Structure 1
Amino acid sequence: MPPLLLAALALALALSHAAAGGGTGFYDPARVTQISWRPRAFLYSGFLSHAECDHLIKLAKGRLEKSMVADNESGKSVMSQVRTSSGTFLSKREDEIISGIEKRVAAWTFLPEENAESMQVLHYEVGQKYDAHFDYFSDKKNVKRGGHRVATVLMYLTDVKKGGETVFPIAEGRDLQHKDETWSERARHGLAVKPRKGDALLFFSLHVNATTDPSSLHASCPVVEGEKWSATKWIHVRSFDNPPDVMTDARCSDDNEQCPRWAALGECYKNAKYMVGTKDTLGSCRKSCGVCDA
């Protein structure tokens, strides 16, 4: 077989593999649909394979904690009835499957892996939700590390019998979307996306000129029937792993108020990549793990 034909065949196989969630950096643009320009939002059908979805859920089970929100004034993580799910973070490059997904996210978004936070897996039971909010920040503390979140990739890990939609209540064209009785009541009041296992939603929280986009206001509708699992990658405008302007301060700090409790439970050893970090990435609980000078 001619070399050029062999190369073309290899590329076709790689693209097919990636389209089925194969863990490479390739992606299939034919599976992407633009659903909104205000905010800029795109839906990728079959971004993850079902096996990848199941793997992420399996990793997250047993690690789940009550979900938190960032306080608008202090920037600290606090509990709130605005967000009633449970969740956990999976360390970057924790295994080959996560590493492959992270590469695919970077390829799709054209944003570097180092600009992204660790993947957060979320679990919603019946009645649980996340009220309308922005993914960009209102406080100065969170903006220091990597700047605003410019984009969000929300990956759906399960189908949901009813409810659990992602809704943009003030998106342009929200009144043009046809909805029948299969949509939940909350989803009817905006432009909405149903969670389907393996699909991924990409939306941008900033305009192309890097100013915040209020139309990116979004919510996770309450689950009406069944349960919902999802995985989120938040991506910043600058490096989140190694921000040069805050590197010195970040070397001995905790990024989450739960760090002391997690350290007491032995997470510094069980989940060292997230808690302590690696030679390339700072951990989120270095102070509580005692690996730096306070």
Structure 2
Amino acid sequence: MEAGGWAGSRAAAGAVSGAGRRDRGQSDERWGRGLGRLRARAEGSAETPAARPGFPHSGGRRPESQPSADPGGRPPLRRVHYKQRTDAPTTSHDPTVAPIMPPLLMLLLAALAPALSHAAAGGGAGFYDPARVTQISWCPRAFLYSGFLSHAECDHLIKLAKGRLEKSMVADNESGKSVMSQVRTSSGTFLSKREDEIISGIEKRVAAWTFLPEENAESMQVLHYEVGQKYDAHFDYFSDKKNIKRGGHRVATVLMYLTDVKKGGETVFPIAEGRDLQHKDETWSECARHGLAVKPRKGDALLFFSLHVNATTDRSSLHASCPVVEGEKWSATKWIHVRSFDNPPDVMADTRCSDANEQCPRWAALGECYKNAKYMVGTKDTLGSCRKSCGVCDA
């Protein structure tokens, strides 16, 4: 190698080595300054972020003042006052200016808006709010839902029922047939399942609350009680084989109150546990004083079970509707069975042409076979209650 080349290489290497030493020196110098600042902070130095040029203040805000060190030598309290950036977006107090909202949050609120609005109005289809439910008894199992229906839904059910009301019937304990009785003096009517969107929504809500499928429930019955009318103590489960054959026992009842009642009309459980512990003032009727009672309030719903969890009948579910003392009472009832009521496995087998209600001939003469076909005639999957009178089978 020539001398000139060797010398050039030595010079280049020296330049690189020198540059490296300078870089290390600068790095050590920066490290030393940083260590000095940390030591100064620990000793209560007045050096603050504001004293360092180019310090990236949080949010673009600059400290206005810094308290001096404590005379005793302790570090100062770091109370820093900030100015709001004038170029940062702020929430306007002008009611005409809408606040800025992230697009994803806007989409989420838009998706939840229908459910939230239904919930505020008393609940939507398939929606229920467990926070509104109060357990009132464990024997029988009974729960009160405050605001289960909206007032508009209550009014809608009453409007549908008016003009259809008939004398209420009871099931005969031996034959299972519907018969008139002074035990039950109200009037009522059945509303077909899914008769309209409102009824369909209520049925879904009942299923969501009870955790029992819609097909296990009977059609909704709307009842009207005038002054003096009542329903004496009774069980909702059956004693006859005929009614048990279709869907089994009624396991649960959802009783929805459609109006306020000035006095009376309470639902009372005469032999419920804890019945003597319930405080009652002068606003309760005399009937309600003889058991655990629930006052009818518009929109509220009472759920109680007629069977124990092992599917045996619960005699503590004995209940009554107290006579109305002042005003009137409207209610709607959903009875729910152990098995499918709409399509029980044996409903089409060994069935004879008959009517399930002695009023069927009169209802058929009034045109109910066409007006209320689901109840009177039935569907391809279910048997109607007045097939004989409607002439859809051979007697």
Q: TM-score range by the shorter chain?
A: over 0.9
Q: Deviations over 1:143-179 (max 9, x none)?
A: 1110000000000000000000000000011111110
Partner Cα distance (1:15, 1:151) in 2: 28
**More off after superposition, 164-173 vs 271-280:** 271-280
Q: Unaligned 5+ residue runs, structure 2?
A: 1-100
Bigger-Rg structure (1/2): 2
The DSSP-based 3-state class of the residue aligned with 1:256 is coil
Contact 1:15 1:27 in 2 (8 A): no
Partner Cα distance (2:106, 2:138) in 1: 39
1:190 paired with 2:294, answer: no
Query: Are the structure 2 counterparts of residues 117 and 7 from structure 1 closer, same or farther at C-alpha, using a change threshold of 3 Å?
Result: farther
The DSSP-based 3-state class of the residue aligned with 1:167 is strand
Contact 1:268 1:289 in 2 (8 A): yes
1:16 paired with 2:88, answer: no
**More off after superposition, 213-222 vs 3-12:** 3-12
Q: Deviations over 1:173-215 (max 9, x none)?
A: 1111110000000101110000000000000000000000000
**More off after superposition, 248-257 vs 179-188:** 248-257
Q: Deviations over 1:56-102 (max 9, x none)?
A: 11111111111111111111111111111011111111111111100
Query: Are the structure 2 counterparts of residues 125 and 16 from structure 1 closer, same or farther at C-alpha, using a change threshold of 3 Å?
Result: same
1:152 alignment partner, one of 253, 266, 270: 253
1:6 paired with 2:106, answer: yes
**Which residue of 2 is the match for residue 268 of structure 1?**
369
Query: Are the structure 2 counterparts of residues 209 and 7 from structure 1 closer, same or farther at C-alpha, using a change threshold of 3 Å?
Result: farther
Per the TM alignment, residue 269 of structure 1 is displaced from its structure 2 partner at its CA by 1.2
The DSSP-based 3-state class of the residue aligned with 1:30 is helix
2:148 alignment partner, one of 29, 37, 47: 47
Contact 2:192 2:374 in 1 (8 A): yes
Per the TM alignment, residue 282 of structure 1 is displaced from its structure 2 partner at its CA by 3.2
Name the structure with the higher strand share. Answer: 1
Query: Are the structure 2 counterparts of residues 19 and 88 from structure 1 closer, same or farther at C-alpha, using a change threshold of 3 Å?
Result: same
The DSSP-based 3-state class of the residue aligned with 2:188 is strand
Contact 1:156 1:200 in 2 (8 A): yes
Query: Are the structure 2 counterparts of residues 19 and 214 from structure 1 closer, same or farther at C-alpha, using a change threshold of 3 Å?
Result: farther
1:28 paired with 2:129, answer: yes
Q: Deviations over 1:111-150 (max 9, x none)?
A: 0111000000000000000000000011111111100000
Per the TM alignment, residue 13 of structure 1 is displaced from its structure 2 partner at its CA by 4.7
Name the structure with the higher helix share. Answer: 2
Contact 2:347 2:382 in 1 (8 A): no
Contact 2:347 2:383 in 1 (8 A): no
Query: Are the structure 2 counterparts of residues 169 and 7 from structure 1 closer, same or farther at C-alpha, using a change threshold of 3 Å?
Result: farther
Query: Are the structure 2 counterparts of residues 21 and 287 from structure 1 closer, same or farther at C-alpha, using a change threshold of 3 Å?
Result: farther
Per the TM alignment, residue 250 of structure 1 is displaced from its structure 2 partner at its CA by 4.7
Partner Cα distance (1:5, 1:184) in 2: 51
Q: Percent identity?
A: 96
The two structures have a TM-score, normalised by structure 1, of 0.95
Partner Cα distance (2:242, 2:358) in 1: 14
Query: Are the structure 2 counterparts of residues 251 and 280 from structure 1 closer, same or farther at C-alpha, using a change threshold of 3 Å?
Result: farther
Query: Are the structure 2 counterparts of residues 264 and 26 from structure 1 closer, same or farther at C-alpha, using a change threshold of 3 Å?
Result: same
Question: Highest relative contact order (Cα 8 Å, sep 6+), 1 or 2?
Answer: 1
Partner Cα distance (2:378, 2:184) in 1: 28
Q: How many residues align?
A: 294
Query: Are the structure 2 counterparts of residues 251 and 37 from structure 1 closer, same or farther at C-alpha, using a change threshold of 3 Å?
Result: same
Partner Cα distance (1:90, 1:205) in 2: 23
Contact 1:60 1:90 in 2 (8 A): yes
The DSSP-based 3-state class of the residue aligned with 2:370 is helix
1:251 paired with 2:352, answer: yes
Per the TM alignment, residue 254 of structure 1 is displaced from its structure 2 partner at its CA by 2.2
Per the TM alignment, residue 7 of structure 1 is displaced from its structure 2 partner at its CA by 6.9
Per the TM alignment, residue 247 of structure 1 is displaced from its structure 2 partner at its CA by 2.2
Partner Cα distance (2:384, 2:289) in 1: 41
Partner Cα distance (1:238, 1:18) in 2: 29
Query: Are the structure 2 counterparts of residues 280 and 12 from structure 1 closer, same or farther at C-alpha, using a change threshold of 3 Å?
Result: farther
Partner Cα distance (2:137, 2:107) in 1: 36
Query: Are the structure 2 counterparts of residues 13 and 266 from structure 1 closer, same or farther at C-alpha, using a change threshold of 3 Å?
Result: closer
1:167 paired with 2:268, answer: yes
Per the TM alignment, residue 284 of structure 1 is displaced from its structure 2 partner at its CA by 1.9
2:213 alignment partner, one of 94, 101, 112: 112
1:64 paired with 2:129, answer: no
Contact 1:63 1:88 in 2 (8 A): yes
The DSSP-based 3-state class of the residue aligned with 1:23 is coil
Q: Unaligned 5+ residue runs, structure 1?
A: none
1:211 paired with 2:312, answer: yes
**More off after superposition, 250-259 vs 230-239:** 250-259
**More off after superposition, 223-232 vs 19-28:** 19-28
**More off after superposition, 5-14 vs 71-80:** 5-14
Per the TM alignment, residue 253 of structure 1 is displaced from its structure 2 partner at its CA by 3.5
Query: Are the structure 2 counterparts of residues 244 and 4 from structure 1 closer, same or farther at C-alpha, using a change threshold of 3 Å?
Result: farther
The two structures have a TM-score, normalised by structure 2, of 0.71
Contact 1:115 1:238 in 2 (8 A): yes
